[in-house]
Structure 1
Amino acid sequence: MRILVTGAGGAIGGAATARLVEAGHDVRALVREEDTPPDVDGVEVVRGDATDPAAVAPAVDGADAVVHLAATPAPLGRPEDVFVNNSCATLVVLQYAAEAGVGRAVIASSVSALGLAWAREVNSPAYVPIDEDHPFWPEESYGLSKQVDEATAAMIHRRFELPILAYRFPYTTTAEALAERAAQVRADPAEAVRELWAYLDVRDAAEAIRLGVESDVPGFHPVYVMAPDTLADRPTAELVARYHPTSEVRTPLAGRQTPYVITRAEQLLGFHARHLVAGDRTGETN
């Protein structure tokens, strides 16, 4: 396949680019002028901003699929800049991709759309495990931009019938950074109370992206993509009872199970995170 990756200079973008090339795909990477392109042989690098139709239109031309990852990755800077950049980029990329006849898109959403991670005070979910129907309560522009990104993707699908998967990523980084974060969380679980202790290794994010662009799943779907366990070393039920006592427990949480419903990723994509902080079910570790 010919695949355009926006935001290819970022951590997830670089890992996704490498994984797609490894899987035999031809990748075009859209990278801003000031960003370093992914260090992957055989990738066509094009310079431009994902908010700019003059850059996006030629970049999507001839692509079979688009992976849209370009975004300000947190509520950094002026709220209006974060919101406008993220929301505009998603609309431009998906609009021009659909008009160009691209067959599939995968975009980066975020658990931040729920409004928990960046809330002014600790904000507990209405219920756990959190599924894709949980309401959005963002209190800042980044979470709001991700909510709008999903609404934009749903609109593009309705208008053009472009299949789109919106991955709600948790805290996603390298194995080394996850190990450091896990040490902090295990010393004090309150360190990740806003994130509900969820995480994902960037290599698993890249694999989920590969599965998404290679899938034949129709429609628009938001999907939680994350590890099946948490960064904490205590039972999740104990953590929820202590730090989120107002949350309804709809299904018992076993062991260190992530307090999110991740079955949609399994059912639609066959995705299972393999790079876990404490090793996975098959014995593989970081």
Structure 2
Amino acid sequence: MRIALTGSSGKLGTVVARELRATGIEVIGMDVSGQRGPGFVQVDLTDYGQVVDALTAVGDQHDGIDAVVHLGAIPAPGIRSDVATFHNNMPATFNVFWAAVRLGIRRIVYASSETVLGLPFDVPPPYVPVDEEYPPRPESVYSLVKTLEEHLATELVRWHPDLSITALRFSNVMVPDDYAEFPSFDTDALLRKWNLWGYIDARDGAQAVQRALEGAPVGFEQYIIAAADTVMSRPNDELLAEVFPEVPVAREVGANETLLSIDKARRILGYDPQHSWRDHV
């Protein structure tokens, strides 16, 4: 399989590129900046012509793409202005999706976000663990774009019944160097309440991408992708009693089990997170 990987120079993208290549997948990285050379194409995703050209063929880099993994974006709210975030992220995703469809590429995996669940949960979640069953609750322009991208995907697969688009609602992406800070979170339950104390190891993020590339069904589906545990040593019952005492607990959860439900990703994609911060601290 040869894939185009947008955002290949980002925190998650660099790990996804490394892990997928290790499995034998040919990865053509695409980003506005990055290390030049074989396997990388510099492209501005907000320019539709560049996207079409990059996916079609670039010199001797490749002569066609089997699937697209779209991670390229301003990666979080608050990095740039709301207008700049919208004007970058929404056109970039439309261009990638539209170009892929026009070129006959029928498998797209892309980064949605946990933010569509209602982060930073200033309005409490409807229940925990949160899952994909309730409608998006965007609370920022960044999250609004992610919600609109999911609507875009829904309509594209309606127009093209042979198309597979998978939205991976990634939690806060971490790498091992980040884990030294985690024990300090226990001092204040509010420090990380904004995403129900969740995270995702970038290596498990790459696993989710690979599972979707290999086995996602035709149509559109979205999946929460998080680690199997929380960032906290403190147990969930204690955290919930302190921060979200009125929020219903929909099912029994383990002491440190993620409150961002990954049940759907486990069931349909076979996602099985292997990495925890507890193995590094």
Same fold by TM (over 0.5)? yes
> Residues of 2 paired with 1:237 and 1:87: CA distance?
38
> Match of 2:74, SS?
coil
CA contact (8 A) 1:3 1:65 kept: yes
CA contact (8 A) 1:30 1:46 kept: yes
CA drift at 1:115:
2.6
> Residues of 2 paired with 1:266 and 1:179: CA distance?
28
Q: Which residue does the alignment assign to 2:223?
A: 223
Q: In the superposition, relative to structure 1, how do residues 105 and 22 fare at CA in structure 2: closer, same or farther (>3 Å)?
A: same
Q: Which residue does the alignment assign to 2:39?
A: 44
CA contact (8 A) 2:189 2:243 kept: no
> Residues of 1 paired with 2:35 and 2:115: CA distance?
26
CA drift at 1:53:
0.9
> Match of 1:102, SS?
coil
Q: Which residue does the alignment assign to 1:163?
A: 164
Q: Which residue does the alignment assign to 2:94?
A: 91
Q: Which residue does the alignment assign to 2:138?
A: 138
Q: Which residue does the alignment assign to 2:52?
A: 57
1:205 and 2:215 equivalent? no
Task: After superposition, give the CA deviation of every residue in 1:229-280 in whole Å (9 maximum; x if it has no partner).
Answer: 101111112212210123221112221111122111111221111110124x
Q: Which residue does the alignment assign to 1:282?
A: none
Q: Which residue does the alignment assign to 1:72?
A: 74
> Residues of 2 paired with 1:22 and 1:106: CA distance?
19
Q: Which residue does the alignment assign to 1:262?
A: 262
> Residues of 1 paired with 2:262 and 2:169: CA distance?
10
Task: After superposition, give the CA deviation of every residue in 1:57-78 in whole Å (9 maximum; x if it has no partner).
Answer: 0222221110000111112221
Q: Which residue does the alignment assign to 1:277?
A: 277
> Residues of 2 paired with 1:56 and 1:227: CA distance?
32
> Residues of 2 paired with 1:37 and 1:150: CA distance?
31
> Residues of 2 paired with 1:252 and 1:95: CA distance?
42
Q: Which residue does the alignment assign to 1:82?
A: 85
Q: Partner amino acid for 1:69?
A: L
Q: Partner amino acid for 1:65?
A: A
Range 42-51 or range 252-261, more displaced: 42-51
Q: Which residue does the alignment assign to 2:59?
A: none
CA contact (8 A) 1:105 1:165 kept: yes
What value does the CA root-mean-square deviation take over the aligned residues? 1.7
Unaligned runs of at least 5 residues, structure 1: 280-284
Q: Partner amino acid for 2:72?
A: A
Q: Partner amino acid for 1:36?
A: G
Percent identity over paired residues: 35
Give TM-score, length-normalised by structure 2. 0.91
> Match of 2:131, SS?
coil
> Residues of 1 paired with 2:81 and 2:278: CA distance?
38
CA contact (8 A) 2:43 2:54 kept: no
1:23 and 2:26 equivalent? no
Q: Which residue does the alignment assign to 2:61?
A: none
> Residues of 1 paired with 2:38 and 2:273: CA distance?
26
Q: In the superposition, relative to structure 1, how do residues 190 and 29 fare at CA in structure 2: closer, same or farther (>3 Å)?
A: same
Task: After superposition, give the CA deviation of every residue in 1:136-155 in whole Å (9 maximum; x if it has no partner).
Answer: 22222111111111111112
CA drift at 1:36:
2.3
User: What is the aligned length?
Assistant: 272
Q: Which residue does the alignment assign to 1:107?
A: 110
> Residues of 1 paired with 2:87 and 2:242: CA distance?
37
Give TM-score, length-normalised by structure 1. 0.90
CA drift at 1:216:
4.7
